[in-house]
């Protein structure tokens, strides 16, 4: 199966586009109600979130505090049937600090519903990321 035919790859591309265009409510179509979402580090947006409402609020806040500049530019998506890794560059600007850093998002999906049930953010330099989101 080529990457472009993988439904999970399509779902993740669509999801990142919806975040980028602020169509957050439509992310409910691809994320389970009881999703578990992990963000590393020690800053106001780090930690474990359980539930889609909390995740959408987290996404809203990440856009709001960066004036809509925060995004993950996708380089490639490597996927199996029920999990995938999105290899990205995180970009954003906040209070004069410019974020541009390699990042990875890993996702696990439910094999029946095909919705995301677990997501984890991976950052290259947590010291800088803590500074960026805490500023």
Partner 1 sequence: MNQLNLNAARIAIELFHSGRVELMRQMLAEDVVWKVPHRNPLATDIIGVDNVLEFFRRVQRETNGTFRGEVLQIAANDEAVFCLMRVHGERAGKTLDQKVVNVWRLRPGDNKVIERELFMEDQPASDEFWAY
76, 95, 97, 113: which one binds partner 1 (CB under 8 A):
76
Q: Which of 122, 133, 116 is nearest to 36 (CA)?
A: 116
- Give the residue with the Cβ less far from partner 1, 44 or 102: 102
CB atoms within 10 A of CB 126: 14
Q: From the list 35, 49, 79, 116, which residue makes contact with partner 1 (rule: CB under 8 A)?
A: 79
Q: 66, 94 in Cβ contact below 8 A?
A: yes
Which of residues 14, 24, 36, 87 is near partner 1 by CB under 8 A?
Answer: 87
85 binds partner 1 (CB under 8 A): yes
Q: Is 40 in the site for partner 1 (CB under 8 A)?
A: yes
Q: How far is the CB of 44 from partner 1 (least distance, A)?
A: 17
Tell me if 125 contacts partner 1 by CB under 8 A: yes
The DSSP secondary structure of 46-83, one letter per residue, reads: -EEEESHHHHHHHHHHHHHTTTT--EEEEEEEEE-SSE
Strand 97-109 versus strand 116-123 pairing type: antiparallel
Residues that bind partner 1 (CB under 8 A): 3, 40, 42, 76, 78-80, 83-85, 87, 102-104, 106, 122-127
């Amino acid at each position: 199966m080529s990457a472009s035919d993988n439904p999970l790859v399509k779902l993740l591309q669509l999801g990142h586009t919806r975040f980028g265009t602020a169509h957050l409510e439509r992310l409910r179509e691809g994320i389970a109600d009881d999703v578990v979402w992990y963000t590393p580090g020690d800053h106001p947006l780090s930690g474990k979130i359980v539930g889609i409402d909390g995740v959408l609020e987290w996404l809203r806040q990440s856009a709001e505090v960066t004036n809509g500049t925060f995004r993950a530019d996708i380089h490639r998506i490597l996927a199996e049937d029920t999990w995938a890794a999105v290899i990205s560059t995180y970009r954003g600007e906040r209070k004069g600090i410019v974020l541009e850093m390699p990042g990875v998002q890993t996702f696990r999906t439910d094999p029946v519903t095909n919705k995301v049930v677990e997501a984890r953010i991976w950052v290259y330099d947590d010291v800088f990321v803590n500074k960026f989101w805490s500023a």
